[in-house]
Amino acid sequence: MRLLPLIARRHLGSSHNLSFISFVSYLSITGLAIGISVLILTLGILKGFEKEVQEKIIGFDGHIRIRGFLGNPLSDYQPQLDSVLTSISEISGRLPYIHHAATARISGKTEAVLVEAFDQNAAVNVLQTKKSLIAGNFDLINSALDRPGIIIGKVLADKLNVNKIGQLITLMDLTSIGKPGRAPRILQFEIKGIYKTGLNEYDESIVYIDLKVAQRLFNYANQITGEIISLRTLAETEVVSNILDENLHYPLMSSTWKERHSNLFEWLSLQKYPITVVFALVALVAVLNIMSSLTMIVMEKNKDIGVMRAIGFSRKSISQLFFIEGGIVGFFGVILGVLFALFLGWFQTRFNIFSIPEEIYFMSNLPITFTLSHIITVGFFGVLSAIIASVYPAWKASGVEPAKAVRYE
Protein backbone atom coordinates (compact mmCIF):
# COMPACT_ATOMS: atom_id res chain seq x y z
CA MET A 1 0.00 0.00 0.00
CA ARG A 2 1.11 3.54 -0.69
CA LEU A 3 0.31 4.56 2.90
CA LEU A 4 2.90 2.18 4.40
CA PRO A 5 6.03 4.35 3.80
CA LEU A 6 4.21 7.38 5.29
CA ILE A 7 3.15 5.41 8.35
CA ALA A 8 6.68 4.02 8.73
CA ARG A 9 8.18 7.52 8.73
CA ARG A 10 5.64 8.69 11.33
CA HIS A 11 6.50 5.71 13.55
CA LEU A 12 10.24 6.45 13.44
CA GLY A 13 9.78 10.19 13.97
CA SER A 14 7.07 9.71 16.54
CA SER A 15 5.22 12.57 18.18
CA HIS A 16 6.10 14.21 21.48
CA ASN A 17 4.39 11.64 23.67
CA LEU A 18 6.69 8.99 22.25
CA SER A 19 9.85 11.07 22.09
CA PHE A 20 11.89 8.26 23.63
CA ILE A 21 11.02 6.04 20.66
CA SER A 22 12.19 8.77 18.30
CA PHE A 23 15.43 9.05 20.26
CA VAL A 24 16.02 5.30 20.04
CA SER A 25 15.30 5.37 16.29
CA TYR A 26 17.78 8.18 15.73
CA LEU A 27 20.28 6.34 17.92
CA SER A 28 19.90 3.27 15.70
CA ILE A 29 20.57 5.35 12.59
CA THR A 30 23.59 7.00 14.26
CA GLY A 31 25.03 3.67 15.41
CA LEU A 32 24.69 2.18 11.95
CA ALA A 33 26.21 5.32 10.38
CA ILE A 34 29.26 5.15 12.66
CA GLY A 35 29.79 1.47 11.86
CA ILE A 36 29.47 2.10 8.12
CA SER A 37 31.88 5.06 8.19
CA VAL A 38 34.50 3.16 10.22
CA LEU A 39 34.35 0.19 7.87
CA ILE A 40 34.59 2.34 4.71
CA LEU A 41 37.50 4.30 6.19
CA THR A 42 39.33 1.11 7.15
CA LEU A 43 38.90 -0.38 3.69
CA GLY A 44 39.98 2.95 2.20
CA ILE A 45 43.17 2.96 4.26
CA LEU A 46 44.01 -0.61 3.24
CA LYS A 47 43.35 0.24 -0.40
CA GLY A 48 45.46 3.38 -0.02
CA PHE A 49 48.37 1.36 1.36
CA GLU A 50 48.08 -1.16 -1.46
CA LYS A 51 47.92 1.56 -4.13
CA GLU A 52 50.85 3.51 -2.67
CA VAL A 53 53.11 0.44 -2.44
CA GLN A 54 51.97 -0.72 -5.87
CA GLU A 55 52.87 2.62 -7.49
CA LYS A 56 56.30 2.62 -5.88
CA ILE A 57 57.05 -0.94 -6.97
CA ILE A 58 55.88 -0.42 -10.55
CA GLY A 59 57.85 2.83 -10.68
CA PHE A 60 61.05 0.92 -9.94
CA ASP A 61 60.22 -2.52 -11.34
CA GLY A 62 57.97 -1.94 -14.33
CA HIS A 63 54.86 -4.00 -15.04
CA ILE A 64 56.63 -7.11 -16.35
CA ARG A 65 60.25 -8.26 -16.45
CA ILE A 66 61.74 -10.80 -18.83
CA ARG A 67 65.08 -12.39 -18.07
CA GLY A 68 67.17 -15.42 -18.86
CA PHE A 69 67.42 -18.40 -16.55
CA LEU A 70 69.90 -17.65 -13.71
CA GLY A 71 70.36 -14.16 -15.13
CA ASN A 72 72.24 -15.31 -18.22
CA PRO A 73 72.53 -12.86 -21.15
CA LEU A 74 69.72 -12.86 -23.71
CA SER A 75 71.91 -12.54 -26.83
CA ASP A 76 71.05 -15.97 -28.27
CA TYR A 77 67.32 -15.49 -27.71
CA GLN A 78 66.85 -11.84 -28.66
CA PRO A 79 65.25 -12.58 -32.08
CA GLN A 80 62.63 -14.81 -30.46
CA LEU A 81 61.96 -12.20 -27.76
CA ASP A 82 61.67 -9.36 -30.29
CA SER A 83 59.21 -11.40 -32.37
CA VAL A 84 56.94 -12.05 -29.40
CA LEU A 85 57.06 -8.53 -27.92
CA THR A 86 56.43 -6.68 -31.18
CA SER A 87 53.22 -8.68 -31.65
CA ILE A 88 51.70 -7.52 -28.34
CA SER A 89 49.84 -4.24 -28.83
CA GLU A 90 49.37 -3.62 -25.07
CA ILE A 91 53.10 -2.97 -24.61
CA SER A 92 53.89 0.75 -24.43
CA GLY A 93 57.63 0.58 -23.71
CA ARG A 94 60.66 -1.73 -23.51
CA LEU A 95 63.80 -1.14 -21.49
CA PRO A 96 66.83 -3.45 -21.91
CA TYR A 97 68.70 -3.81 -18.63
CA ILE A 98 71.44 -5.61 -16.75
CA HIS A 99 70.93 -7.05 -13.27
CA HIS A 100 74.18 -8.10 -11.58
CA ALA A 101 75.64 -8.65 -8.11
CA ALA A 102 78.55 -6.50 -6.92
CA THR A 103 80.12 -4.93 -3.86
CA ALA A 104 80.15 -1.20 -3.12
CA ARG A 105 83.07 0.28 -1.22
CA ILE A 106 83.66 3.76 0.12
CA SER A 107 85.99 5.02 2.86
CA GLY A 108 86.82 1.53 4.09
CA LYS A 109 83.18 0.38 4.29
CA THR A 110 81.88 -2.36 2.00
CA GLU A 111 78.32 -3.53 1.27
CA ALA A 112 76.89 -6.12 -1.13
CA VAL A 113 74.62 -4.54 -3.74
CA LEU A 114 72.53 -5.45 -6.76
CA VAL A 115 73.33 -3.34 -9.80
CA GLU A 116 70.57 -2.37 -12.21
CA ALA A 117 71.79 -0.76 -15.41
CA PHE A 118 69.84 0.80 -18.28
CA ASP A 119 69.85 3.74 -20.66
CA GLN A 120 68.58 6.68 -18.61
CA ASN A 121 66.89 8.32 -21.61
CA ALA A 122 64.98 5.16 -22.53
CA ALA A 123 64.01 4.64 -18.88
CA VAL A 124 61.88 7.80 -18.84
CA ASN A 125 59.07 6.01 -20.72
CA VAL A 126 59.19 2.84 -18.61
CA LEU A 127 60.22 3.61 -15.01
CA GLN A 128 59.46 6.38 -12.51
CA THR A 129 62.67 6.18 -10.49
CA LYS A 130 63.23 9.95 -10.59
CA LYS A 131 60.17 10.53 -8.41
CA SER A 132 61.89 8.94 -5.40
CA LEU A 133 65.05 11.05 -5.51
CA ILE A 134 65.67 12.95 -2.29
CA ALA A 135 69.07 14.38 -3.22
CA GLY A 136 71.01 15.06 -6.43
CA ASN A 137 69.71 14.10 -9.87
CA PHE A 138 69.31 11.02 -12.04
CA ASP A 139 72.23 11.74 -14.39
CA LEU A 140 74.17 8.52 -14.92
CA ILE A 141 76.42 9.86 -17.67
CA ASN A 142 77.64 13.41 -17.17
CA SER A 143 80.17 13.93 -14.40
CA ALA A 144 82.43 16.84 -13.52
CA LEU A 145 84.90 14.30 -12.10
CA ASP A 146 85.07 12.33 -15.35
CA ARG A 147 83.53 9.32 -13.61
CA PRO A 148 80.30 7.49 -14.53
CA GLY A 149 77.35 8.35 -12.30
CA ILE A 150 75.59 6.10 -9.81
CA ILE A 151 72.32 6.41 -7.87
CA ILE A 152 72.09 4.69 -4.47
CA GLY A 153 69.35 4.17 -1.88
CA LYS A 154 69.04 6.12 1.37
CA VAL A 155 69.60 3.08 3.61
CA LEU A 156 72.74 2.09 1.69
CA ALA A 157 73.98 5.69 1.83
CA ASP A 158 73.60 5.66 5.62
CA LYS A 159 75.44 2.34 5.92
CA LEU A 160 78.34 3.66 3.84
CA ASN A 161 78.34 7.05 5.64
CA VAL A 162 77.67 8.97 2.43
CA ASN A 163 77.14 12.56 3.50
CA LYS A 164 77.11 14.46 0.23
CA ILE A 165 76.46 14.17 -3.48
CA GLY A 166 79.64 13.85 -5.53
CA GLN A 167 81.49 11.37 -3.32
CA LEU A 168 83.32 8.57 -5.11
CA ILE A 169 82.30 4.94 -4.66
CA THR A 170 83.87 1.78 -6.08
CA LEU A 171 81.95 -1.17 -7.48
CA MET A 172 83.53 -4.60 -7.86
CA ASP A 173 82.11 -7.45 -9.97
CA LEU A 174 81.59 -10.38 -7.61
CA THR A 175 81.82 -12.93 -10.45
CA SER A 176 85.35 -11.75 -11.28
CA ILE A 177 86.76 -12.59 -7.84
CA GLY A 178 89.02 -15.62 -7.42
CA LYS A 179 89.80 -16.28 -11.07
CA PRO A 180 93.46 -17.35 -11.47
CA GLY A 181 95.63 -14.86 -13.28
CA ARG A 182 92.90 -12.20 -13.45
CA ALA A 183 92.40 -9.15 -11.30
CA PRO A 184 88.84 -8.46 -10.10
CA ARG A 185 86.94 -6.02 -12.29
CA ILE A 186 86.42 -2.75 -10.44
CA LEU A 187 85.24 0.72 -11.45
CA GLN A 188 84.92 4.00 -9.60
CA PHE A 189 81.70 6.03 -9.77
CA GLU A 190 80.52 9.45 -8.69
CA ILE A 191 77.39 9.45 -6.52
CA LYS A 192 74.95 11.61 -8.48
CA GLY A 193 71.79 10.99 -6.51
CA ILE A 194 70.16 9.30 -3.50
CA TYR A 195 66.66 7.83 -3.65
CA LYS A 196 64.21 6.71 -0.99
CA THR A 197 61.21 4.45 -1.56
CA GLY A 198 60.61 3.35 2.03
CA LEU A 199 61.00 -0.26 0.84
CA ASN A 200 64.21 -1.69 2.31
CA GLU A 201 64.71 -4.27 -0.44
CA TYR A 202 65.39 -1.33 -2.75
CA ASP A 203 66.85 1.33 -0.48
CA GLU A 204 69.56 -0.84 1.08
CA SER A 205 70.73 -2.91 -1.87
CA ILE A 206 69.84 -1.68 -5.37
CA VAL A 207 72.07 0.85 -7.18
CA TYR A 208 71.61 2.26 -10.68
CA ILE A 209 74.28 2.84 -13.33
CA ASP A 210 74.39 3.36 -17.09
CA LEU A 211 73.90 0.32 -19.34
CA LYS A 212 77.08 0.73 -21.40
CA VAL A 213 79.14 1.25 -18.25
CA ALA A 214 77.71 -1.96 -16.78
CA GLN A 215 78.47 -3.89 -19.96
CA ARG A 216 82.09 -2.81 -19.62
CA LEU A 217 82.32 -3.48 -15.87
CA PHE A 218 80.68 -6.91 -15.99
CA ASN A 219 82.19 -7.95 -19.32
CA TYR A 220 78.86 -8.34 -21.11
CA ALA A 221 80.03 -6.91 -24.48
CA ASN A 222 76.82 -5.27 -25.72
CA GLN A 223 74.63 -7.89 -24.07
CA ILE A 224 71.72 -7.55 -21.64
CA THR A 225 70.26 -9.86 -18.99
CA GLY A 226 66.63 -8.84 -19.37
CA GLU A 227 63.98 -6.38 -20.48
CA ILE A 228 61.57 -4.30 -18.43
CA ILE A 229 58.14 -4.01 -20.04
CA SER A 230 55.65 -1.19 -19.44
CA LEU A 231 52.01 -1.50 -20.44
CA ARG A 232 49.33 0.97 -21.43
CA THR A 233 47.30 0.20 -18.29
CA LEU A 234 47.82 -1.78 -15.11
CA ALA A 235 44.75 -3.92 -15.86
CA GLU A 236 46.49 -5.43 -18.90
CA THR A 237 49.26 -7.00 -16.81
CA GLU A 238 47.66 -10.42 -16.41
CA VAL A 239 46.61 -10.64 -20.08
CA VAL A 240 50.11 -9.83 -21.34
CA SER A 241 51.68 -12.15 -18.76
CA ASN A 242 49.56 -15.05 -20.06
CA ILE A 243 50.60 -14.29 -23.65
CA LEU A 244 54.27 -14.29 -22.65
CA ASP A 245 53.91 -17.54 -20.72
CA GLU A 246 52.43 -19.20 -23.81
CA ASN A 247 54.99 -17.88 -26.31
CA LEU A 248 58.31 -17.61 -24.42
CA HIS A 249 60.31 -20.77 -23.99
CA TYR A 250 63.17 -21.85 -21.76
CA PRO A 251 65.47 -20.21 -20.80
CA LEU A 252 63.38 -17.02 -21.15
CA MET A 253 61.24 -16.27 -18.09
CA SER A 254 58.70 -13.53 -17.37
CA SER A 255 57.32 -12.25 -14.07
CA THR A 256 54.84 -9.52 -13.18
CA TRP A 257 55.35 -6.84 -10.55
CA LYS A 258 52.91 -8.66 -8.26
CA GLU A 259 54.59 -12.05 -8.64
CA ARG A 260 57.98 -10.58 -7.73
CA HIS A 261 56.52 -9.11 -4.54
CA SER A 262 53.91 -11.76 -3.76
CA ASN A 263 54.73 -11.96 -0.04
CA LEU A 264 54.14 -8.24 0.45
CA PHE A 265 50.79 -8.23 -1.33
CA GLU A 266 49.68 -11.44 0.36
CA TRP A 267 50.34 -9.71 3.67
CA LEU A 268 48.24 -6.74 2.57
CA SER A 269 45.45 -9.09 1.48
CA LEU A 270 45.50 -10.89 4.82
CA GLN A 271 44.75 -7.61 6.58
CA LYS A 272 41.27 -7.72 5.02
CA TYR A 273 40.24 -10.78 7.03
CA PRO A 274 40.21 -8.99 10.40
CA ILE A 275 38.10 -6.32 8.67
CA THR A 276 35.55 -9.00 7.82
CA VAL A 277 35.35 -9.95 11.50
CA VAL A 278 34.96 -6.31 12.49
CA PHE A 279 32.21 -5.85 9.91
CA ALA A 280 30.41 -8.93 11.28
CA LEU A 281 30.52 -7.46 14.79
CA VAL A 282 29.37 -4.06 13.56
CA ALA A 283 26.54 -5.71 11.65
CA LEU A 284 25.53 -7.73 14.73
CA VAL A 285 25.44 -4.64 16.95
CA ALA A 286 23.47 -2.72 14.30
CA VAL A 287 21.00 -5.60 13.90
CA LEU A 288 20.41 -5.84 17.67
CA ASN A 289 20.11 -2.08 18.02
CA ILE A 290 17.61 -1.74 15.18
CA MET A 291 15.71 -4.82 16.33
CA SER A 292 15.35 -3.34 19.82
CA SER A 293 14.18 -0.02 18.41
CA LEU A 294 11.54 -1.56 16.16
CA THR A 295 10.38 -3.94 18.88
CA MET A 296 9.81 -0.97 21.19
CA ILE A 297 7.79 0.69 18.41
CA VAL A 298 5.66 -2.46 18.15
CA MET A 299 5.00 -2.37 21.89
CA GLU A 300 4.21 1.33 22.00
CA LYS A 301 2.13 1.27 18.81
CA ASN A 302 0.30 -1.92 19.71
CA LYS A 303 -3.10 -0.19 19.80
CA ASP A 304 -2.47 1.60 16.49
CA ILE A 305 -1.51 -1.69 14.88
CA GLY A 306 -4.74 -3.21 16.20
CA VAL A 307 -6.78 -0.38 14.68
CA MET A 308 -4.99 -0.87 11.35
CA ARG A 309 -5.82 -4.57 11.45
CA ALA A 310 -9.43 -3.76 12.32
CA ILE A 311 -9.89 -1.44 9.34
CA GLY A 312 -8.56 -3.97 6.88
CA PHE A 313 -4.74 -4.04 6.93
CA SER A 314 -3.56 -7.61 6.45
CA ARG A 315 -0.83 -9.35 8.44
CA LYS A 316 1.37 -9.09 5.35
CA SER A 317 0.87 -5.31 5.19
CA ILE A 318 1.77 -4.94 8.86
CA SER A 319 4.93 -6.99 8.29
CA GLN A 320 5.79 -4.87 5.26
CA LEU A 321 5.37 -1.75 7.38
CA PHE A 322 8.15 -2.79 9.74
CA PHE A 323 10.37 -4.01 6.95
CA ILE A 324 10.01 -0.54 5.42
CA GLU A 325 10.89 1.03 8.78
CA GLY A 326 14.02 -1.13 8.95
CA GLY A 327 14.88 -0.15 5.38
CA ILE A 328 14.49 3.55 6.25
CA VAL A 329 16.84 3.18 9.23
CA GLY A 330 19.32 1.30 7.04
CA PHE A 331 19.09 3.80 4.17
CA PHE A 332 19.69 6.90 6.28
CA GLY A 333 22.34 5.13 8.35
CA VAL A 334 24.24 4.17 5.21
CA ILE A 335 23.91 7.64 3.63
CA LEU A 336 25.16 9.39 6.76
CA GLY A 337 27.94 6.83 7.23
CA VAL A 338 29.18 7.17 3.65
CA LEU A 339 29.11 10.98 3.77
CA PHE A 340 30.95 11.02 7.10
CA ALA A 341 33.61 8.61 5.81
CA LEU A 342 34.13 10.66 2.63
CA PHE A 343 34.45 13.84 4.67
CA LEU A 344 37.01 12.32 7.05
CA GLY A 345 38.95 10.89 4.10
CA TRP A 346 39.02 14.28 2.37
CA PHE A 347 40.02 16.00 5.61
CA GLN A 348 42.91 13.59 6.19
CA THR A 349 44.13 13.87 2.59
CA ARG A 350 43.86 17.66 2.64
CA PHE A 351 45.39 18.40 6.05
CA ASN A 352 47.29 15.16 6.90
CA ILE A 353 46.13 15.14 10.52
CA PHE A 354 47.34 11.61 11.20
CA SER A 355 50.90 10.57 10.35
CA ILE A 356 52.47 7.10 10.58
CA PRO A 357 56.04 5.91 11.22
CA GLU A 358 57.74 5.77 7.82
CA GLU A 359 60.31 3.16 8.86
CA ILE A 360 57.47 0.67 9.42
CA TYR A 361 54.86 1.55 6.78
CA PHE A 362 57.05 2.78 3.86
CA MET A 363 55.35 6.21 3.97
CA SER A 364 54.70 9.03 6.43
CA ASN A 365 51.22 10.11 5.31
CA LEU A 366 48.19 7.95 6.03
CA PRO A 367 46.91 7.05 2.54
CA ILE A 368 43.16 6.76 1.91
CA THR A 369 41.73 5.59 -1.39
CA PHE A 370 37.98 5.05 -1.63
CA THR A 371 36.56 2.74 -4.29
CA LEU A 372 32.98 2.71 -5.53
CA SER A 373 32.82 -1.07 -5.16
CA HIS A 374 33.69 -0.86 -1.45
CA ILE A 375 31.10 1.87 -0.83
CA ILE A 376 28.35 0.00 -2.71
CA THR A 377 29.17 -3.32 -1.00
CA VAL A 378 29.27 -1.87 2.51
CA GLY A 379 26.15 0.18 1.84
CA PHE A 380 24.25 -2.83 0.50
CA PHE A 381 25.09 -4.98 3.52
CA GLY A 382 24.29 -2.07 5.83
CA VAL A 383 20.75 -1.78 4.44
CA LEU A 384 20.43 -5.58 4.34
CA SER A 385 21.42 -5.79 8.02
CA ALA A 386 18.73 -3.27 8.92
CA ILE A 387 16.09 -5.22 6.97
CA ILE A 388 17.17 -8.49 8.61
CA ALA A 389 16.84 -6.75 11.98
CA SER A 390 13.19 -6.06 11.09
CA VAL A 391 12.25 -9.74 10.81
CA TYR A 392 11.40 -10.26 14.49
CA PRO A 393 9.54 -6.94 15.00
CA ALA A 394 7.61 -7.55 11.74
CA TRP A 395 6.63 -11.03 12.88
CA LYS A 396 5.62 -9.74 16.31
CA ALA A 397 3.58 -6.89 14.84
CA SER A 398 1.79 -9.14 12.34
CA GLY A 399 0.63 -11.33 15.21
CA VAL A 400 -1.23 -8.52 16.98
CA GLU A 401 -4.93 -9.39 17.47
CA PRO A 402 -7.21 -6.41 16.72
CA ALA A 403 -9.69 -7.02 19.56
CA LYS A 404 -7.00 -7.34 22.22
CA ALA A 405 -4.93 -4.46 20.89
CA VAL A 406 -7.80 -1.96 20.84
CA ARG A 407 -8.40 -2.65 24.54
CA TYR A 408 -4.64 -2.34 25.25
CA GLU A 409 -3.51 0.76 27.12
- Beta-carbon count within 10 A of 130 CB: 15
C-alpha angle 216-221-223 in degrees, rounded to nearest 5: 110
Strand partners, 169: 189
Provide mean pLDDT across the span 190-198. 92
Strand partners, 229: 64, 94
Distances from the Cα of 107 to the Cα of 111, 171, 265, angstroms: 12, 13, 38
Backbone angles phi, psi at 286, to 5 degrees: -65, -45
pLDDT tens-digit map of 335-377: 999 999 999 999 998 888 888 776 666 677 888 999 999 999 9
- d(CA 195, CA 138) in angstroms, rounded, equals 9
Question: According to the model, what pLDDT value does residue 16 have?
Answer: 45
Strand 206-210, strand 186-195: pairing: unpaired
Per domain, the residue ranges of the chain are: 3-57+267-407, 73-250
DSSP H stretches of helix in 301-371: 302-310, 315-351, 358-361
Give the model's confidence band at 7: pLDDT under 50 very low, under 70 low, under 90 confident, else very high: low
**pTM for the full predicted model:** 0.77
Residue 141 three-state SS: coil
pLDDT tens-digit map of 239-298: 999 999 999 888 889 999 989 888 877 877 777 777 777 777 877 787 788 888 778 877
- d(CA 213, CA 210) in angstroms, rounded, equals 5
